[in-house]
Every structure is written in structure tokens, then in C-alpha cells.
Amino acid sequence: DVKVTQSSRYLVKRTGEKVFLECVQDMDHENMFWYRQDPGLGLRLIYFSYDVKMKEKGDIPEGYSVSREKKERFSLILESASTNQTSMYLCASSVPANEKLFFGSGTQLSVL
């Protein structure tokens, strides 16, 4: 079975802190994604990557950056956390031309 692992299940940070969310997949998938999920808004794509060192902006990239130095790892960075970034963050992976996404269990981030 595909496993997508997110480093933390719950995280509490203060406004202005730099925050790293880590995601690792073990199935050699080329594609990796970061979404955030908020009540009533559904999942919104922040950034995605189709290959190592490659990244593309999703629908809501403002305030975020990403890093993909190795194929299995995709990191989401909040340069200066703000309260409106309090959310559930979900990482996903997939193979090209296959739209089935495999999700990690999510990180609930609270920014105080």
C-alpha cells in the first residue's frame, strides 16, 4: 500500500514563526501536492510538484513556499505564520496521468 506520511498530526505555532511541514511518500510517485482544508471551502491547492526541484503554484500560494530536493519528500514552508493560516494541511502524491491521489493523514496547524 502507498504510504504518505506527514511529520506532525498537530502543531501549534506563534504568529511570525517560520513553520516547516514535512511530507514523505514511499511509492516513488512523481507528483506531490499540498492542500489546505477549511470548513465550507473544501480542499484548496497550495503548491504542487511534478519532479524533483520542480514546483508550481496552485490556487492559493500566497504566504507559502515549498521545497522538493528529493523525490520522496515535499516540504511546505510558512515563512512567517499568520493566524489566517490556521488550517488542516494535507499532502498527497500520485503518478503521472493517474488522477488518483493518495493523502497523508494531515497536519492540524494552529497559529496563535
Please give the residue ranges that form the binding site for other proteins (CB under 8 A): 31, 33, 35, 40-45, 48, 58, 90, 94, 96-97, 99-101, 103-106
Backbone φ and ψ of 71, nearest 5°: -60, -35
Nearer to other proteins, 30 or 72 (CB): 30
36: cell is: 489546505
Nearer to other proteins, 84 or 100 (CB): 100
What is the separation of C-alpha 28 from the centre of its chain, rounded to a whole number of angstroms? 17
Whether residue 26 contacts residue 51, with contact meaning beta carbons closer than 8 Å, is answered with: no
CB of 35 to other proteins, least distance (A): 8
CB of 74 to other proteins, least distance (A): 13
Residue at 72: amino acid letter: E
Nearer to other proteins, 4 or 78 (CB): 4
Whether residue 95 contacts residue 81, with contact meaning beta carbons closer than 8 Å, is answered with: no
